[in-house]
Amino acid sequence: MIRSKLISIGDEILIGQIVNTNAAYIGEKMFSIGIPVHKTVVISDEETSLLQEFEDSYQNYDVTIITGGLGPTHDDITKPALAKFFDDKLVIDNEVLEHVKNFFSSRKIEMPLINEGQALVPENSEVIWNSNGTAPGIWIEKNNKIFVAMPGVPYEMKPMVESFVLPRLIKKFSNDNSKIYLQKTILTTGIGESSLYEMFGDIENILDGNKLAFLPSATGVRLRMNVIGEDENDALVKLRAFENRIREKASDYVYGENDDTLQSVVGSLLRQSGKTLSLAESCTGGRISSSIVSVAGSSDYYRGGICAYANEEKIRLLKVSKETLKQHGAVSREVAVQMAEGARNLLCTDYALSTTGIAGPSGATPDKPIGLVWIGFSSSEKSYAMEFHFGNKREVNIERSSQRALEILRRELLKIKIKF
């Protein structure tokens, strides 16, 4: 198997000033061409560290991708370090020099002298053209080991990866690398990681030699399948069988795959059935509305929502009865039901969802703890509310309430049993 390693250079990543999104981007691209990144390293711009990592790369990996440290200032040492490591020298590349000069003159800026250094490249290397900036990328090949250095600026690096690095790597390794790598993610919600794992029973049977990762988050557990095939057909057949085994076990907890979201899935179901939705949110405060509207085209099925944060608005807009509020309190089954019914009537929709709960950190009483949330549902056929306990983190409460509300709607739309 072709092994690749990624080296990100820069203090700003180490001290958390920027998040290493480049690594995610490159990781995904390399995986897609069957040369997955086996290790990512982030180091400071110190020559010793760079040389050490280059040595490890040279010994243990076929492809090393380096980002950062290619700018014109004193702390940009990737090129000199590469030259030192490969016992090479830096020489001016005239085409790059021309490009750098043009870059400044076309912007009617005088070029600072320091920028001439951008045209320096290791003599035994190939330039990767930078259409969106001045620092060129570098491609070095020695004894079948490949080192690629690119700027850390995402919009300069990405076009280099797509137009040069990936095609070149595919060509280079097309003989060595006949295997096909496929990946797919199945999305579940409404069930915890360990319960899901238990439902799977004998995991080896399901895996059948493939890889499966359980990725829990506040919105549910994602199941990522990785499959390696001898050729494309083999990989597809394996993936399909693997997916079927998983879908069978995870059954109706599965709501989608890959980039789906619960709101996009629910949106498609509403559109298909020509039905409309409205919302009455209290503790979620507009979060459900906001996630529904994040889906392009949601105006086809979403009419709008009321964020009734104050009791008066529950009464005035949603027609929740004063008596009910007094008798049961705002966080109650009865109020959740009336809120959902109120929204459905007010906004004239087929379905409505409501939330009322104690998001925290204050507002709890002895019998209504932080994390208690009632989620209401209303359609022309029925109205009801369900009770949940989501723990004591405000942010998590809001997130999970929203997710559960959408999951209730999904199950209603598909006419499958509600079970939590």
| Residues of this chain, 349-408, that bind its own copies according to CB under 8 A | 359-362, 389, 391, 393-396, 398
DSSP letter string, 349-388: -SEEEEEEE--SSS--BTTB-TTEEEEEEE-SS-EEEEEE
Least distance to its own copies from the beta carbon of 191, Å?
10
Beta-sheet strand order (sheet of 351-357): 277-281, 351-357, 372-378, 383-389
Structure tokens at 263: 């709101």
Half-sphere exposure of 361 (CA within 13 A, CB side): 0
Residue 92 in contact with its own copies, rule: CB under 8 A: no
Which residues inside 292-321 make contact with its own copies, applying CB under 8 A?
292-294, 296-299, 302-310, 312-313, 317
Nearer to its own copies, 42 or 91 (CB): 42
**Under rule CB under 8 A, how many of the chain's residues touch its own copies?**
109
CA 73 to CA 135: how far, in whole Å? 11
Residue 69 in contact with its own copies, rule: CB under 8 A: no
Nearer to its own copies, 285 or 384 (CB): 285
Least distance to its own copies from the beta carbon of 57, Å?
13
Half-sphere exposure of 291 (CA within 13 A, CB side): 23
Nearer to its own copies, 126 or 363 (CB): 363
Residue 161 in contact with its own copies, rule: CB under 8 A: no
Nearer to its own copies, 12 or 208 (CB): 12
Least distance to its own copies from the beta carbon of 11, Å?
6
Residue 40 in contact with its own copies, rule: CB under 8 A: yes
Nearer to its own copies, 24 or 414 (CB): 24
Which residues inside 179-208 make contact with its own copies, applying CB under 8 A?
183, 185, 192-195, 197-198, 203
User: Is the separation of the CB atoms in 419 and 190 below 8 Å?
Assistant: yes
CA 273 to CA 138: how far, in whole Å? 54
Residue 64: partners with Cβ closer than 8 Å, 6 or more residues away: 4, 5, 6, 7, 54, 57, 58, 145, 146, 147, 148
Residue 345 in contact with its own copies, rule: CB under 8 A: no
Least distance to its own copies from the beta carbon of 181, Å?
9
Residue 108 in contact with its own copies, rule: CB under 8 A: yes
C-alpha 122: how far from its chain's center? 37
